[in-house]
Amino acid sequence: MAKDRVQPLKLEDPSTGGVETDWGPTSADPNEDYLDAHGLTIQSDISDDEDVFVGRDVDDSMIFADKVAGGPYTLTELLAGDETLHKKFRHLIHFIESGGPGDGFASGAFREITGGVFPTSIIWWESSAKLKKLLERTITWGTSPKVPTQDQFKIYDTDGVTVLATATDTISHSGPFETSRVRVFS
């Protein structure tokens, strides 16, 4: 869908950093002129807010923020793949690969398993008080042979209720041996 593209009006003068003098407001040249502002907010088709912005902090670092990822984060942090920043995002991969919460999460997490020898539910809670879920894993088992046919992971936000991401594996077998797995994220 085509969007309106606009050029802001400018007043240019060598005394304020320009290279020529404009006697009145003129359109900025997108191939020549820099805009001089503290920051930039970016809108969707329906927004009118400050949820997504680019700016500059007091240390002269470029900063970025949005409603989903949070922030502000500096360009240096984003380029470096800052490990602390990465952990703050509560990525599902932190749990799937390790089987539970790892470095970057509070100590004292509690794991609850139901289903006996063939577990059907494994829930990691923030603590043994079981007030906030960190991760919920649900396993569906086939009947003959008794093998997992679906393995689903849900990662929760810091409130312990809101699901941030879900990964569902559909597993195929030849007898007792896994032959393939399809993972869908939602």
Tens-digit pLDDT profile for residues 153-182? 998 888 899 888 888 999 999 999 999 999
Assess whether pLDDT exceeds 80 at residue 151: yes
Domain ranges of the chain: 39-89, 90-185
Higher pLDDT, 105 or 50: 50
- Rounded Cα–Cα distance for residues 135 and 93 (Å): 11
User: pLDDT value at position 81?
Assistant: 64
pLDDT for residue 41: 86
At residue 96, the pLDDT reads 67
Q: Where are the alpha helices (DSSP H) in the chain?
A: 75-80, 83-88, 93-96
Cis geometry, peptide bond prior to residue 145 (ω within 30 degrees of 0): yes
> What's the whole-number average pLDDT of the chain?
83
pLDDT digits (tens, 9 = 90+) for 65-75: 887 777 788 88
Q: Per the omega criterion (within 30 degrees of 0), is the bond before 119 cis?
A: no
**Which architecture does CATH list for 90-185?**
Beta Barrel (2.40)
% of the chain at pLDDT higher than 90: 31
Type of residue found at 47? S
Reported confidence tier of residue 42, pLDDT bands at 50, 70, 90: confident
pLDDT tens-digit series, residues 117-144: 999 999 999 999 999 999 899 999 998 8
Q: What is the reported pLDDT for 45? A: 83
How confident is the model at residue 182, as a pLDDT? 94
pTM above 0.85, yes or no: no
Write down the pLDDT at residue 82.
53
Tell how many helices (H) and how many strands (E) occur in the chain.
3, 12
Which of 8-17, 23-32, 86-95, 128-137 shows the lowest per-residue confidence on average (mean pLDDT)?
Answer: 86-95
- The pLDDT value recorded for residue 26 is 83
Q: Distance (Å, rounded) from C-alpha 120 to C-alpha 128?
A: 20
